[in-house]
């Protein structure tokens, strides 16, 4: 049976007990509606620590036109999947407990928050960093696990941990995909059968760019064009951005090298999908 904790104070007390016992805690923060991408993080967290703790919390950081109320929620299904993956403790709470009246302190990043996902979703990363900082204090992980699928988020969290001296390690795992290449995402449930097929254009675009890189192309514009061509040839796909950046700085690069990360975001039949890959090693994590 998985233990479920629903109050921040109880979570904090449990974390203090783990600390006293010297228990190594692997922590996977999620918004629920769990799939194989999350479960890979959980299995890794369990393998590398004494316990795996998962949080399930849909943070109200979503902007006014976003899908906070529509976001898929399935706590019973999630708990059923988590036990076999090695998770023994789930922390799931509500916005009123995390943000009681008077809450007014936030974590922001001045360098990386206003590009890509931050440009499309203003305030998004302030919400992410603030909730992850709170979760780190409540759960006190030895190591926290994130997916490369959300590459900008993973980098921002690494930066926060370094800048604010959180006493924990951050591990990033490669993106888990469907057999046809579509990155697993809780939002994939919103795709119709046609949308599902169209969504594969993101990973096809990344693969096309990686193939050009492998055959010697280094010009960023040519590599971006190769990915864009796949997306733009697919009906129902509207590109938010395709960019080639340095994996460690998220700065645009003109000439690709082994550390160049291609970021893709698009709306597919109205559902927002993200993907990214290192052009030199598309199936590996960048960090």
- Residue 26 or 37: the one with the smaller Cβ distance to ligand AMP is 37
Q: Which of 169, 195, 254, 252 is nearest to 220 (CA)?
A: 254
Q: What x-and-dash track marks residues 174-213 binding ligand AMP by CB under 6 A?
A: -xx------xxxx---------------------------
- Residue 172 or 256: the one with the smaller Cβ distance to ligand AMP is 172
CA distance 45 to 24: 10
Residue 205 near residue 230 (C-beta atoms within 8 A): yes
- Residue 31 or 225: the one with the smaller Cβ distance to ligand AMP is 31
Residue 15 near residue 27 (C-beta atoms within 8 A): no
What's 12-53 look like in SS3? HHHHHHHHHHCCCEEEEEECCCCCHHHHHHHHHHHHHCCEEE
Residue 242 near residue 203 (C-beta atoms within 8 A): no
Closest distance of CB 34 from ligand AMP, Å: 7
Binding residues for ligand AMP, rule CB under 6 A, total 17
Residue whose C-beta lies closest to ligand AMP: 147
Active-site residue (options: 38, 137, 246, 255): 38
- Residue 188 or 234: the one with the smaller Cβ distance to ligand AMP is 188
Q: Which of 108, 139, 154, 107 is nearest to 250 (CA)?
A: 154
124 is catalytic: no
Residues 10-49 that bind ligand AMP (CB under 6 A): 30-31, 37-38, 40-41
Q: Does 78 bind ligand AMP (CB under 6 A)?
A: no
CA distance 200 to 106: 36
**Residue 114 to residues 123, 152, 205: CA-CA distances in angstroms?**
8, 11, 24
The residue length of the chain stands at 287
Q: What x-and-dash track marks residues 149-178 binding ligand AMP by CB under 6 A?
A: xx----------------------x-xx--
- Residue 14 or 184: the one with the smaller Cβ distance to ligand AMP is 184
Task: Choose, by CB under 6 A, the member of 57, 146, 190, 213 that binds ligand AMP.
Answer: 146
Q: What x-and-dash track marks residues 245-274 binding ligand AMP by CB under 6 A?
A: ------------------------------
Radius of gyration of the chain (CA): 19
Q: Which of 3, 18, 1, 2 is nearest to 138 (CA)?
A: 18
Q: Would you state the structure tokens that stand for residue 80, as one six-digit string?
A: 């059923």
- Residue 125 or 220: the one with the smaller Cβ distance to ligand AMP is 125
Q: CB under 6 A: which stretch of 19-27, 62-70, 141-149, 221-229 binds ligand AMP?
A: 141-149
The residues assigned a catalytic role are 38
Q: Which residues bind ligand AMP (CB under 6 A)?
A: 30-31, 37-38, 40-41, 146-147, 149-150, 173, 175-176, 183-186
């Amino acid at each position: 049976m998985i233990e479920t904790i629903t109050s921040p104070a109880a979570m904090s007390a449990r974390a203090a007990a783990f600390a006293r016992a010297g228990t190594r805690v692997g922590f996977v923060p999620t918004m629920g509606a769990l799939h194989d991408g999350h479960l890979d993080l959980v299995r890794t967290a369990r393998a590398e620590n004494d316990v795996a703790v998962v949080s399930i919390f849909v943070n109200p950081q979503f902007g006014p036109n976003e899908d906070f109320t529509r976001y898929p929620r399935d706590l019973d299904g999630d708990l059923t999947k988590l036990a076999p993956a090695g998770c023994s403790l789930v922390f799931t709470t509500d916005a009123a407990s995390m943000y009681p009246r008077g809450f007014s302190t936030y974590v922001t990043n001045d360098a990386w928050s206003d590009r890509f996902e931050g440009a499309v979703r203003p305030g998004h990363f302030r919400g992410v960093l603030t909730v992850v900082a709170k979760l780190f204090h409540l759960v006190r992980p030895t190591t926290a696990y994130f997916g490369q699928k959300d590459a900008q988020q993973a980098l921002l969290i690494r930066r926060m941990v370094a800048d604010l001296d959180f006493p924990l390690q951050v591990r990033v795992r490669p993106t888990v995909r469907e057999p046809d290449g579509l990155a697993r995402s809780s939002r994939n449930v919103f795709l119709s059968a046609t949308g599902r097929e169209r969504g594969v254009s993101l990973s096809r675009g990344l693969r096309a760019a990686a193939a050009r890189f492998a055959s010697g192309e280094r010009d960023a514009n040519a590599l971006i064009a190769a990915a864009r061509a796949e997306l733009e040839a697919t009906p129902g796909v509207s590109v938010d951005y395709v960019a080639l950046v340095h994996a460690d700085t998220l700065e645009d690069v003109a000439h690709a090298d082994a550390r160049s990360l291609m970021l893709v975001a698009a709306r597919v039949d109205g559902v927002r999908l993200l993907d990214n890959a290192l052009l030199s090693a598309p199936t590996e994590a960048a960090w």
